[in-house]
Amino acid sequence: MSIIKKLALAAGVSALLSSAAYADLSGKVIGFSQIGSESGWRAAETSVTKSEAEKLGVDLKFADAQQKQENQIKAIRGFIAQGVAAILIAPVVATGWEEVLTEAKEANIPVILLDRGIDAPQDLYLTSVASDQVKEGRVAGEWLVGAVGDKECKVVELQGTVGSSPAINRKQGFEEGIKGHANLSIIRSQTGDFTRAKGKEVMEGFLKAEDGGKGICAVYAHNDDMAVGAIQAIKDAGLKPGSDILVVSIDGVPDIFQAMVAGEANATVELTPNMAGPAFAALDAYLTDGTQPEKFIITESKLYTPKDDPQGEYDRRKGLGY
Ligand code: GZL
């Protein structure tokens, strides 16, 4: 056979192989260690993950950790003992994962991180599907810079869960976004643990400490749920959220768009609840022919303000698992 024919044959075979549809995940048992249901976004992430699994015929074993890392570690050990095909983890905090992920690696069970990152050797997980959380904070900060111009603006910050990658990264990003604008300053910053109730409680404390809120120009919340809690606290203090005190946050859940319609919120940076789609695609390729995915699969972050049809955005999201 001529060399030309051999090359054509080889090309044809490789084309055939690469175009082979990945063997599907149907019937595969996959464990999912979820943080909990602390926010509207988290609940949507859970429902979207379950529907993505159902679409693919995956037998998803779901474990809700109620915000506790020890419950996640227990669930992961249970998945390892069960001999699942893979494990999805949304890690509540960034540290303390090496031991249990080493156990998964030794059991040859691929791990995919969803939504949050960890401080651990990258060979302990197949890939991590998450947003660029520093960018989310930076976009929020840059929006506020544009909104206030040269006016002095004292900002209060509602941080996410202490030690979580989004709380660390969104704080860093926001500070980058306002850097160089001396008229903006963060005067108070405290965790509201990503929940509506805690966000309201901490905002009440900020308002009391700042002369009833007269000194506060804006609240930056690491997620919309804490922002919605803060909006209620601002109203209870007799002030107008969205005008007396600007409200900027992250997630893009329906309720923040409802607040925009009411003129009570000013900006949100969207976080997709569908991390599972890219995760399952990467897992499918890996299980089929060992394809190594990118270590970090970054999801989009988009700014929304009241100029972006908040009612339409509210209606659209209501059908997306929220
Ligand atoms: C961020 C994600 C955060 C959401 C919150 O990637 O981990 O956790 O912003 C959720 O709504 O509690």
Q: Which residue has the least CA distance to atom 9 on ligand 1?
A: 223
174 and 82 within one domain: no
In a domain, 12, yes or no: yes
Write out residues in the chain with pLDDT < 50, as ranges: 14-21
256 and 139 within one domain: yes
Residue span of the structural domain in which 172 resides: 133-270+307-314
pLDDT score recorded for residue 15 = 46
pLDDT score recorded for residue 321 = 76
Measured in Å, residue 166 CA sits from the centre of ligand 1 at 7
207 and 280 within one domain: no
Ligand 1 mutation pick, 37, 45, 67, 115, max ligand atoms within 8 A of CB: 115
In a domain, 191, yes or no: yes
Supply the CATH number for residue 214's domain: 3.40.50.2300
175 and 58 within one domain: no
pLDDT score recorded for residue 1 = 58
In a domain, 69, yes or no: yes
138 and 265 within one domain: yes
In a domain, 320, yes or no: no
pLDDT score recorded for residue 319 = 77
Instruction: Note the pLDDT tens digit of each residue in 266-284.
Output: 999 999 999 999 999 999 9
pLDDT score recorded for residue 8 = 53
CA distance 245 to 281: 43
pLDDT score recorded for residue 275 = 98
In a domain, 321, yes or no: no
Instruction: Note the pLDDT tens digit of each residue in 155-186.
Output: 999 999 999 999 999 999 999 999 999 999 99
232 and 186 within one domain: yes
188 and 63 within one domain: no
Pocket of ligand 1 (CB under 6 A): 38-39, 41-42, 115-116, 131, 166, 194, 223, 225, 250-251, 271
DSSP string for 155-221: EEEEE-STT-HHHHHHHHHHHHHHTT-TTEEEEEEEE-TT-HHHHHHHHHHHHHHTGGGTT--EEEE
Number of domains in the chain: 2
287 and 226 within one domain: no
Q: Give me the residue label for tokens 């930056």.
A: 220
In a domain, 153, yes or no: yes
What pTM does this model have?
A: 0.93
238 and 181 within one domain: yes
161 and 122 within one domain: no
Closest-lying ligand 1 atom to the alpha carbon of residue 41: 11
pLDDT score recorded for residue 24 = 85
pLDDT score recorded for residue 19 = 42
Ligand 1 mutation pick, 41, 46, 169, 196, max ligand atoms within 8 A of CB: 41
In a domain, 170, yes or no: yes
Are the C-beta atoms of 26 and 212 separated by less than 8 Å?
no
Phi and psi dihedrals of 296, rounded to 5?
Answer: -125, 120
pLDDT score recorded for residue 4 = 57
